[in-house]
Amino acid sequence: MHMQHRTLCLAIALGLPSLAAAQSAPTDLDEVVVTGTRTAVTVDESLAPVEVIGREEIERSQAHSLPDLLRGRAGISLSNQGGAGKLTTLFLRGAESDHVLVLVDGVRVGSATSGLTAFQDLPLALIERIEIVRGPRSSLYGSEAIGGVIQIFTRRDREGLRARASATLGSHGRAEGSAGFGGGLGRGWFGVDAAYQNVEGFDACEVATPSPFSGGCFIFLPEPDADGYRNRSLSLRGGVDAGETLQVDLHALRAEGRNVFDGDFTNLSKTVQQVLGGRATWTPSERLRLQLVAGRNTDSSDQYLTKPSPWVVPLPDGTGRIGWFQTDRDSATLQGDLTLARGQLLTLGVDWLRDHVAASTTYARAARANRAGFVQYQGRFGRHDLLASLRRDDNDQFGGHTTGSAAWGLDLADGWRVIAGYGTAFKAPTFNELYYPFFGNPALRPEEADSAELGLAWRGARGNARLSAFRTEADDLITYDAALGRAVNLERARIRGAELTFDARVSEWTVAGSLSVADSENRATGLALPRRARHGARLELDRAFGALRIGLTAVGEGARWDDVANTRRLGGYATFDLRAEYAFSEALTLQARVANAFDRDYATVAFYRQPGREWLLTLRYSPQR
């Protein structure tokens, strides 16, 4: 482990005893979350380890992308292929990158072919809050939720009329702008937000020597040019209270990306992330609540090659494309919440999901559907909390699958709480794994996992903290068998880990952070799973001096292996971001940030550089709520 990473972990560990001596400070534990149980509970009541990132924290962090905001947080390890807009994969609690379920305003998103969510293409300017739930949630959400669930909520304005705008300039030719307005009008509400981002970028591909591919990044010839990125996005939403018991809302989000990178077969992609959805909630009494949620996610990518190549022939459509993929995911959920008695809630629901693939590549099967029913019980008995859920999925490809979970919490004296839980989860194979020509295997079985967890939480007037230890066993992991030339269910994995999260006010400083460890092992080979950092840490310090606020964000990760065979090692690293902002008024703020202030040279994927020291300057108009 590198010295910078050791220093960061030591600083966080030494800071923990100060929680006991911290001055009184408000916490976010009374904030309502919905992702962990599909019902509204506070963070303090949640038996699942959940983290909430609200709009205020997003703006204070001065993060310039969703991956930038998420990196280093408890249980999260990211791999990025060379800066802004480049492919970014997220590993939650050591699970595979396609083992995390992502929702946008309740609508399931992600590519049905690759199984990945394009985190790099979802603009922060359109996001109101993010809920991160760690641990298996297949008993509520079905496939993909082995490592956990991340739900993204777009901007909401319900009272009054409010406008906002921001403009950013920064290193590597960065230029960003956003604007929006919204509010409530009588029984209705509406909102519009738009954002633009353009980054000229840097030469992300690192030359590999020696290598049969002289340019590294698995290309034959180097391309010493800037690898830029552009994103244009728009969010629309509105709703109405149609009487005293019925509420209806609609939302739409579209993000268009243009990504330049190095490659011999493709070096330009144009992407679209689109989410259309609606929700109707009927509350006929205090004891009964019915909700219908439906939506569609479109994930598309057009691939181009902007230089002559003897290996690639463009498609005969006259556009210069060499390939394209588009997946549509239609989903709907009908859910009923029935209060049986005080502190006793029963939830019943049915889910429907349909994936459809259209591509320049021919798939043996282009669509499949999944139907499911689920039930959940939440009960409070004095100092005890109980949760149990059960779900049955019926999929066109792999048939029936049953998952379940249970959790228990006990309130102790002086704000302490002990929590234990167990859950099973599964992941349906992707269309690429099943049907991609010459490599797919239609006989694949779902990947399965079970996970146990034990936690200890503390909440006080001075702050809060939570320590969680977990163990996950995964079976039938899908891997590519070179001897057979196709994907097979071959591997078993074990992941053991622990996470510590905390926040408090110490003197005049606001302190928040996390420490994570995830020890993963391929049980068939004894080797570590690739691209996951074993250790991770994040520390945030903030202090206000009247109209001036200063801050520090430090992120560190340990070493990781880049390949399945554990032959290519990537060293650990630590970065320090310095932040400052000055409020000219309650609405107008000037922000400045120096990211990676010590110009740390590191990589999270072999052959792909990460940006060095960067500066950003933002002027933000954002009236107080």
User: What amino acid is encoded at 175 in this protein?
Assistant: A
Distance set, CA 461 to CA 28, 44, 415, 505 (Å):
11, 13, 9, 10
Residue, of 501 and 205, whose pLDDT is higher: 501
Q: Calculate mean pLDDT across residues 249-274.
A: 95
> Exposed, middle or buried, 598 (CB in 10 Å: 0-12/13-18/19+)?
exposed
pLDDT digits (tens, 9 = 90+) for 167-185: 999 999 999 999 999 999 8
| pLDDT above 80: residue 221 | no
Q: Quick one: pLDDT at residue 28?
A: 53
Average pLDDT, the chain: 91
- Alpha carbons 588 and 221: distance in angstroms, whole number: 48
β 416-427/76-80 pair status: unpaired
Does 212 have pLDDT greater than 80? Answer: no
**Which residue's structure tokens are 């006010």?**
505
- Of the listed ranges 5-19, 187-201, 321-335, 531-545, the least confidently predicted one is 5-19
DSSP 613: S
Q: pLDDT digit string (tens) for 367-410? A: 999 999 999 999 999 999 999 999 999 998 888 999 999 999 99
Report the pLDDT value the prediction gives residue 524, as an integer from 0 to 100. Answer: 85
- In Å, how far are 29, 44, 459 from 382, measured between CA atoms? 20, 15, 18
- Domain edges within the chain: 3-621
Characterize 182-218 residue by residue with b for buried, 16 or more Cβ atoms within 10 angstroms of its Cβ, and e for exposed: bebeeeebbbebbbbbbbbbbbbbbebeeeeeebbbb
Of these ranges, 20-29, 316-325, 365-374, the one predicted with the greatest mean pLDDT is 365-374
The whole-number average pLDDT for the span 125-149 is: 95
The pLDDT, as a whole number, for residue 477 is 87
Whether 316 has a pLDDT exceeding 90, the answer reads no
pLDDT-derived band at 29 (thresholds 50, 70, 90) equals: low
Q: How far apart are CA 181 and CA 97, in angstroms?
A: 35
Spell out the CATH class of 3-621.
mainly beta
Give residue 215's pLDDT: 58
Q: What is the pLDDT of residue 489?
A: 87
Q: Is the pLDDT of residue 210 over 80?
A: no
Q: Cα 341–375–298 angle (5° rounding)?
A: 125
Residue 21 has pLDDT above 50, yes or no: no
Q: Rounded mean pLDDT of 330-356?
A: 97
Q: Could you read off the pLDDT of 428-473 as tens digits, one per residue?
A: 999 999 999 888 899 899 999 999 999 999 999 889 999 999 999 9
- pLDDT at position 10 is 41
Measured CA to CA in angstroms, residue 190 lies from 33, 161, 186, 496 at distances of 22, 9, 11, 45
User: Is the Cβ–Cβ distance between 114 and 299 less than 8 Å?
Assistant: no
What mean pLDDT is predicted for residues 204-211? 69
Give CA angle at 585 (579, 590), nearest 5°.
30
Please state the rounded mean pLDDT for residues 34-48: 92
Residue 398, token pair as written in the block: 């792999």
Q: What is the pLDDT of residue 518?
A: 95
pLDDT tens-digit profile of 478-533?
A: 887 766 778 888 789 999 999 999 999 888 999 999 999 999 999 988 999 999 99
Q: Which DSSP state fits 605? A: B
Share of the chain above pLDDT 70, in %: 93
Please give the model's pTM, rounded to 2 decimal places. Answer: 0.93
Distance CA 88, CA 430 (A): 18
